[in-house]
Homo-oligomer: A and B are copies of this chain.
Amino acid sequence: MKPGGTAGACAALVRRDLTLVWRRRGDALNPILFALMVVALFPLALGPEPEQLRRIAAGIVFVALLLAGLLALDTLFRSDYEDGSLEQLVLSPHPLALLLACKIAVHWLTTALPLIAVAPLLGEMLHLPVAVRGVLLLALLLATPLLSLLGAVCVALTVGMHRSGMLLALLVLPLYVPVLIFGAGACNAAQAGLPFLAPLLWLAAALVLALVLAPLACAAALRISIS
């Protein structure tokens, strides 16, 4: 390992975080189970008529994944803060934003990607038309990284706080609203046979912007809240 190289540092970070997830691979299933249960609540609460469920399926899948992602957000920096390794990260000679981008990427890979993988199953539970499934997956692929990036900024602001769960939700959800509108909007448009490209393009544009800005904002937020 060449010491000091920024690429090397990022690689070490990614390797470490992946190892940590692997060591606790049981926990990695939790968001999926949570999403499954939330989705399962709806037929129970609304009654089982397939017609009605079909109409609201895409929206509910979106909301369930969003909530599952929200609950998973907490783990992004929490343990790193508690055991002091976040401090070490901040003290490293490499650009913090880059290191955080790596962390966010690993977090997305290990929490959001599995959620996307079960999305078709969730859709099936609510009788989502097969034709919409492709749009749903595409929308999720664009929306979830965006959610992770936006969420990371808010988590960085609340890191180091006790009982941040609810507060985090309060901070994050307003920022998630546009993503939800465009993402679920695309699915609903597809289901209604309307053009659905525009909202997806908006999501893509927002994603590009967030990819650049969010790690920087996250680093700044972290510097504020670690002090």
Chain B residues, Cβ within 8 Å of A174: 37
Q: Give the distance to chain B from A159, nearest Cβ to Cβ, in Å.
A: 14
- Whether A27 touches B166, Cβ cut-off 8 Å, given contacts A37-B173, A44-B177, A52-B55, is yes
B184/A71 in contact, CB under 8 A = no
| Interchain CA distance A180-B46 in the complex, whole Å | 10
| Interchain CA distance A47-B31 in the complex, whole Å | 26
Chain B residues, Cβ within 8 Å of A181: 44-45
- Whether A41 touches B173, Cβ cut-off 8 Å, given contacts A46-B184, A56-B46, A56-B52, is yes
- Determine which residue in A44, A185, A188 has the highest number of CB atoms from chain B within 10 A of its CB, and name it: A44
Which secondary structure characterizes the binding site on chain A? helix
8 Å CB contact of A184 from B34, B44, B52, B62: B44
Chain B residues, Cβ within 8 Å of A167: 27, 30
Q: Which of A50-79 contact B (CB under 8 A)?
A: 52, 55-56, 58-60, 62-63, 66-67, 71-72, 74-75, 78-79
| Oligomeric state, in copies | 2
Q: Give the distance to chain B from A187, nearest Cβ to Cβ, in Å.
A: 9
A34/B177 in contact, CB under 8 A = no
A71/B173 in contact, CB under 8 A = no
Task: Determine if A169 is an interface residue (Cβ-Cβ < 8 Å).
Answer: yes
- Whether A166 touches B46, Cβ cut-off 8 Å, given contacts A41-B66, A56-B52, is no
Per-residue CB contact flags for chain A residues 35-49 toward chain B (1 = under 8 Å, else 0) read 001101110111100
- A residues near B (Cβ < 8 Å) are 27, 30-31, 33-34, 37-38, 40-42, 44-47, 52, 55-56, 58-60, 62-63, 66-67, 71-72, 74-75, 78-79, 162-163, 165-167, 169-170, 173-174, 177, 180-181, 184-185, 188
A30/B166 in contact, CB under 8 A = yes
A41/B165 in contact, CB under 8 A = no
List the 10 closest A-B pairs by CB distance, nearest first. A45-B59, A30-B166, A46-B59, A45-B184, A37-B173, A41-B63, A46-B56, A45-B62, A44-B181, A45-B63
Chain B residues, Cβ within 8 Å of A165: 71, 74, 165
